[in-house]
Every structure is written in structure tokens, then in C-alpha cells.
Amino acid sequence: MPRSFVREARRRGIGTRRERIGPIVERLAEEHRDAEIALRFRSDLELLVSVMLSAQTTDTNVNRVTERLFEKYRGPEDYLAVPEEELQRDIYATGFFRQKTKAIRGTMQALLEHFDGQVPRRLEQLVTLPGVARKTANVVAAELGHAQGIVVDTHVRRLSQRLGLTREELPVKIERDLQKIVPRADWARFPHLLIWHGRRVCDARNPLCEICVLANLCPSSRVALVSQRVRA
């Protein structure tokens, strides 16, 4: 169980989750104006494939692979027209290439059979595609302008816990907690803001609380704790 920063927030008197969420979003939006998805794509299908390839690897790596991939594979049928081994070779550098090939081909088949070759918008439809779990579906739906949930990756999980927005460990439970307090209009951009803040400031091992714009809203801020001790 992680240390509960929800209780720590109460102890420090910095406000409830609901009171803090507005300023947290505002400050992060101001701080990370460029926060957006790092994957490169030109269509709904390319978005879906990129997100599927991004499991267990970096966005930079995916972009490197998809630059060529998307010149060769334009529509769902293209992924089915080549032998499995050829697609495996083409996505090899993203890792887990066998599972990813299977998932991509299964998804392309399903798109052609059930969705007229188009990427569906609804979360419940997206998760019926082979190899498309809730996180992937959430990313795709949000980027298509139809956010129906909140993406929870490793940064979102860590920051939500540190900021005392959740006590939970499981992504699905963290998402439920966030959905209760984050305004629906911010569901798409909120994960990007936490991800960029996690990369630039709130590192897993070495959070830079001294320069963090959330320091006085964060129950795990080392700065706030030190100044509290000094005052005491």
C-alpha cells in the first residue's frame, strides 16, 4: 500500500481533493502549454496503431518505426495483405512484435468486419478490438475528441497518489477516483498534464519539489514539509 497522501493533505490543511483539483489543472496547464500526445499520426487508424505499438516502449521509438510503417500500410486491409512474418519484421523494433502483430491483425480484421474499416469512437466498441485494453481505448477516444475516461499510465498513477487525489493502486480504481473530481471537460488533457509534469518535474526517484508549481497544493511536497517544520 502506498503511503496515503490523502490523509497527509488533511493533516497539512491544504484543502480537499475537490478544492485542490481546479488550481492543480490550471497551474499545470500554464506550466506545460505544450503538453500533448507525443505519438505522430495523420489519421484515426494511424493513431490506433501507434497507441497499440507504444506498449512497453517509448513514443520516440514508435515514431521512428511508424514513419516508414505508415507509408507502406495505409488501410486496414494492407495489414492483412502481407504475411504475418513481414508485419513482425516491420514493427520488430517496438518490441513484443509477435503479440503486437497478432493484436494489430486481429484489430484490422475486426474493423473491416464490424466497423466498415473505420476506427470506432465509443470506449465500449474500442475495447472489443483484439489487443485494445481500456488504457489504449481511453487514449484513442480522447485524441479523437470523445474522452469517456481518464488515461492512467505510470506517471498519472504516481502523481495522482503523490498529490493525494487517490489512495488506490489499481489503474481502474485510480481512474474512478479521478473521474469523480476532474471536470469532464478536462478528462482528455489532464493525463497529458500529469505525464509532462512527471517527466519534467515530478520524477519517480527525484521529484524537484523546490521548483514545482504545485508545491503548496501537494501533500507529499518536501518543500512544504520543510517549511512547516521550520515554522513549528
Residue from 26, 208, 226, 228 binding ligand SF4 (CB under 6 A)? 208
- Catalytic position from the list 90, 100, 135, 177: 135
User: Rule CB under 6 A: is residue 29 a binding residue for ligand SF4?
Assistant: no
- Catalytic position from the list 44, 59, 78, 153: 153
Closer by beta carbon to ligand SF4, 105 or else 162: 162
Q: At what angle do helices 97-114 and 84-91 cross, to 10 degrees?
A: 120
Closer by beta carbon to ligand SF4, 152 or else 209: 209
20 Cβ contact list (under 8 Å, min separation 6): 9, 14, 163, 164, 217
User: Rule CB under 6 A: is residue 151 a binding residue for ligand SF4?
Assistant: no
> Which range binds ligand SF4 by CB under 6 A, 52-60, 125-133, 180-188, 208-216?
208-216
226 Cβ contact list (under 8 Å, min separation 6): none
Other beta carbons within 10 angstroms of residue 50's beta carbon come to 25
In the chain, which ranges are E strands? none
Contacts 24+ apart (CB under 8 A), 182-185: 182/21, 182/25, 182/150, 183/21, 183/22, 183/25, 184/147
User: Rule CB under 6 A: is residue 201 a binding residue for ligand SF4?
Assistant: yes
> Is there a catalytic annotation at residue 72?
no
What does the per-residue mask of binding to ligand SF4 show for 115-134, with x meaning CB under 6 A? --------------------
Catalytic positions are 135, 153
